[in-house]
């Protein structure tokens, strides 16, 4: 890993000299589905800049129920608690779609934050956008229906991953959305009948992206706009 050529949007937005310093502390790792990057109520040992794939930020309830409160892909990083000066995290970070990440130990991360103002500023801005995503999810969970929320979730995943087909069981999706598994069957069936997606055992394929956007709630667009400053200029998906 001698040459600094990240895919991650945050790293790409760093001034070149800063990137070199950051790069020297990064180690490339593979992200395997269901792998836990951030363990709930545990010390945060590393920050992760996502290169490909996606990571779900989850809240776990006392009864063991889980629900996704945010989603991180190559536009962002996992490790906000480190940035904000918290030792432990209340939110779990679990790999949702396989990929790669660049990992940095907490100590190096915090040192670089204090030495490179542009680095800190960038990550803080991302934190602001992510915060909006979580807030919108709170509102969405309270007011919108399963089918809309599923459509939104598929779009968010589609934005962060190449291709249109995602390996993913209904059981897994139901956990992230905080609903019953048969609820996913019904909702995804409705989307398929409308010609927006296709699904088979253990996978979903986005067929009609524009239609999916129409079927989702406004929450998708609201959050997307908040992340627009991170978009590659010449790579609007779809």
Q: Rule CB under 7 A: which residues touch DNA?
A: 145-147, 169-171, 178-183, 185-186, 188-189, 199, 201-203
Q: How far apart are CA 68 and CA 88, in angstroms?
A: 18
Which residue in the set 15, 42, 128, 232 belongs to the binding site for a copy of itself (CB under 8 A)? Answer: 128
Q: Does 118 bind a copy of itself (CB under 8 A)?
A: no
Nearer to DNA by C-beta: 8 or 170?
170
Q: Which of residues 190-219 bind a copy of itself (CB under 8 A)?
A: 218
- Which residues on neighbouring strands pair with residue 167, listed in sequence order? 203
Among residues 40, 81, 57, 54, which one has the least CA distance to residue 167? Answer: 54
Q: How far is the CB of 76 from DNA (least distance, A)?
A: 27
Distance of CA 105 to the CA centre of its chain: 20
Q: Does 73 bind a copy of itself (CB under 8 A)?
A: no
Sheet holding 197-200, edge to edge: 165-167, 203-206, 197-200
Residues 6 or more apart whose Cβ sits within 8 Å of residue 139: 219
Q: Does 65 bind a copy of itself (CB under 8 A)?
A: yes
Among residues 22, 29, 7, 16, which one has the least CA distance to residue 74? Answer: 7
Write a three-state SS string for 56-111. Answer: EEEEECCCCCEEEEEEECCCCEECHHHHHCCCECCCEEEEEEEEEEEEEEHHHHHH
Q: How far is the CB of 204 from DNA (least distance, A)?
A: 8
Stretch that binds a copy of itself, among 84-92, 96-104, 161-169, 200-208 (CB under 8 A): 84-92
Nearer to DNA by C-beta: 50 or 173?
173
- The answer to whether 74 and 160 are in contact (CB under 8 A) is yes
Q: Does 81 bind a copy of itself (CB under 8 A)?
A: yes
Tokens of 20: 């070199």
Stretch that binds a copy of itself, among 28-36, 96-104, 134-142, 180-188 (CB under 8 A): 134-142
Nearer to a copy of itself by C-beta: 8 or 137?
137
Q: Does 62 bind a copy of itself (CB under 8 A)?
A: yes
Which residue in the set 21, 125, 209, 224 belongs to the binding site for a copy of itself (CB under 8 A)? Answer: 125
53 in the Ramachandran plot: left (φ > 0), alpha (ψ -120 to 50) or beta?
A: left
Stretch that binds a copy of itself, among 5-13, 100-108, 140-148, 165-173 (CB under 8 A): 140-148
Residues at the interface with a copy of itself (CB under 8 A): 57, 59, 61-62, 65, 67, 69-70, 80-81, 83-86, 90-91, 121, 124-125, 127-129, 131-132, 134-139, 141-143, 177-178, 218, 222, 226
């Amino acid at each position: 890993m001698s040459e600094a050529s990240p895919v991650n949007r945050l790293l790409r937005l760093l001034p070149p000299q800063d990137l070199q310093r950051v790069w020297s502390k990064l180690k490339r790792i593979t992200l395997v589905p269901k792998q836990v990057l951030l363990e709930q109520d545990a010390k945060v040992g590393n920050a992760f800049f996502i290169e490909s794939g996606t990571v779900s930020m989850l809240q776990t309830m006392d009864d063991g129920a889980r629900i996704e409160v945010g989603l991180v892909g190559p536009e962002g990083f996992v490790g906000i608690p480190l940035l904000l000066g918290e030792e432990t995290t209340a939110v779990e970070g679990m790999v949702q779609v396989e990929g790669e990440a660049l990992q940095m130990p907490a100590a190096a991360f915090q040192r670089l934050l204090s030495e490179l103002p542009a680095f800190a500023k960038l990550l803080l801005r991302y934190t602001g956008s992510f915060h909006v995503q979580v807030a919108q999810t709170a509102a969405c969970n309270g007011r919108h229906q399963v089918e809309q929320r599923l459509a939104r979730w598929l779009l968010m995943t589609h934005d962060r991953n190449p291709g249109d087909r995602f390996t993913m069981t209904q059981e897994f999706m139901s956990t992230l959305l905080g609903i019953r598994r048969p609820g996913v069957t019904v909702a995804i069936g409705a989307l398929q009948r409308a010609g927006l997606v296709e699904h088979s055992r253990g996978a979903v394929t986005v067929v009609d992206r524009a239609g999916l956007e129409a079927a989702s709630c406004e929450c998708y667009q609201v959050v997307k706009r908040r992340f627009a400053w991170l978009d590659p200029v010449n790579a609007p998906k779809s």
